[in-house]
Amino acid sequence: MSILKLTHLKVHFPTQDGVVKAVNTVDLEIAHGERLGLIGETGCGKTVLGMSVMRLLQLATKVEGKIVYKGRDILRLSEEEMRKIRGKEIAMILQNPTTSLNPVLKVGDQIAEAIQLHQGLNKREAREKAVEMLESVKISSPEKRASEYPHEFSGGMKERAMIAMALACNPSLIIADEPTKGLDVTIKMQIIKLMKEVTKQKSMLFITHDLGAAAEICDNIAVMYAGELVEYAKTTDIFKNPMHPYTRGFLNSLPGMGLKPIRGMSPSLIDLPTGCRFYPRCDHASAKCKIEHPEMVEIKNGYSVRCFLYT
C-alpha cells in the first residue's frame, strides 16, 4: 500500500504571458519506506509538484486530480486539517535554506516553533528537543548553535538545520527539494550521507537535478520533462540502461559521461509542442511523434516509459 498516490495530477497557474502548465496529468506512487527520486532539468515542474502535495501554491493556481496521503485526498481537506498534516505528517526541506530560514529568529527557536505547534510541548521542552535535532544532524556544539542566527551558519550548516526542522516532528513523508543545490562537493557528499542515514525508516520524495545524489539516496527514479513523467524505474535500471531518449541525453550530459549536451532548449510550459513534448530535441523522432502524444506504458515489471519506440 502506498503512503502517497498522485492520480492525474494537473497544476496550472496564470501569468501575464499565459497559463503555465507546470504539471500535466502525473500519476505517481510512493510506498511506505520508499525513497523516490524525481529528476529533471530546472523548470520542468518538479518543485511545483512537491509544493502541490504540501498545498503551498498561490491561490490562483488550478489543481486537478487527486493527491491521496494515507487514504485521504489532500485536495479535499480544509486549510485547518491541512495545517495538522503539514510539518507533522508531511515535512518539506525547501530548496534554498538561506531564504527559507527567518533571518531575525535564532535557529533553535525556529525549530522549536514547529515542535511546540505539533507536539504540544512547552517552550523549554521544545527548545531541548530542538537542540537534540541539531545534534542528530551532526551539528557540533548544538546548544551554542541553537542560540545563533542563520547568518552565523555556513551553507552546509543551514541545510542541516533545514533537515533538522523537517525531522523534528517525526513525519511519515519527507519532500526534499534540491537539498544539495549550491553546495561544494565535500559538503554535498556530507549532506547526501546524512540524508541516507536520517531517512532510512521514512518515505521520501527527493526532488533534484543532481543525478549523483539521486543515485546514492533513492530506491526508484521518476524522470520528469516539460511537466510530465517520461520514465519510471528502479534506480539501478535507470542508470544502467535508460530507455527514454531524454533520460539517455540527460545522463550523457554528466561530466563523467562526456558532457554531451542535449541539443535545443526545453519547451516553454506556456506553449508546449504538440505530440511528444521531447520530439523537437529527439534524434529518434518520427512523423508520429510530432502529431500524437505518447502515453506512459509499462514495458516490463516496474519499468514504465513514455515513448513510441516501445509501443
- Is residue 115 domain-shared with residue 243, that is, in the same domain? no
What pLDDT was estimated at residue 99? 87
- Is residue 261 domain-shared with residue 129, that is, in the same domain? no
Mean pLDDT, rounded, for 146-175: 94
- Is residue 141 domain-shared with residue 254, that is, in the same domain? no
**pTM of model > 0.85:** yes
- Is residue 66 domain-shared with residue 129, that is, in the same domain? no
Coil vs helix vs strand at 18: strand
Q: What are the backbone angles phi and psi of residue 218, rounded to the nearest 5°?
A: -90, 150
Q: Cα–Cα distance between 45 and 38 in angstroms, integer? A: 10
Where residue 201 falls among pLDDT bands split at 50, 70, 90? Answer: confident
Mean pLDDT, rounded, for 85-93: 94
What pLDDT was estimated at residue 223? 97
What pLDDT was estimated at residue 252? 87
Number of domains present in the structure of the chain = 2
237 pLDDT exceeds 80? yes
Mean pLDDT, rounded, for 241-251: 94
- Structural domain span for residue 304: 2-89+171-310
What pLDDT was estimated at residue 210? 87
CA-CA-CA-CA torsion sign (82, 77, 75, 67): positive
59 pLDDT exceeds 80? yes
Mean pLDDT, rounded, for 226-250: 95
- Is residue 286 domain-shared with residue 195, that is, in the same domain? yes
Last residue of a domain, one of 125, 154, 170: 170
Average pLDDT, the chain: 93
Q: What is the CATH number of the domain that holds 54?
A: 3.40.50.300
Last residue of a domain, one of 170, 186, 219: 170
Q: Please report, rounded to a whole number, the percentage of residues in the chain having pLDDT higher than 90.
A: 82
294 pLDDT exceeds 80? yes
- Is residue 146 domain-shared with residue 276, that is, in the same domain? no
Q: Cα–Cα distance between 311 and 124 in angstroms, integer? A: 61
Angle subtended by helix axes 123-136 and 107-119, to nearest 10? 120
Last residue of a domain, one of 110, 143, 170: 170
What pLDDT was estimated at residue 260? 85
- Is residue 60 domain-shared with residue 181, that is, in the same domain? yes
What pLDDT was estimated at residue 255? 72
- Is residue 196 domain-shared with residue 303, that is, in the same domain? yes
Beta strand spans in 106-219 (E): 173-177, 203-208
Residue with the three cell numbers 506512487: 29
- Is residue 13 domain-shared with residue 133, that is, in the same domain? no
32 pLDDT exceeds 80? yes
- Is residue 97 domain-shared with residue 85, that is, in the same domain? no
61 pLDDT exceeds 80? yes
- Is residue 73 domain-shared with residue 192, that is, in the same domain? yes
What pLDDT was estimated at residue 261? 86
What pLDDT was estimated at residue 209? 87
What pLDDT was estimated at residue 259? 74
- Is residue 233 domain-shared with residue 305, that is, in the same domain? yes
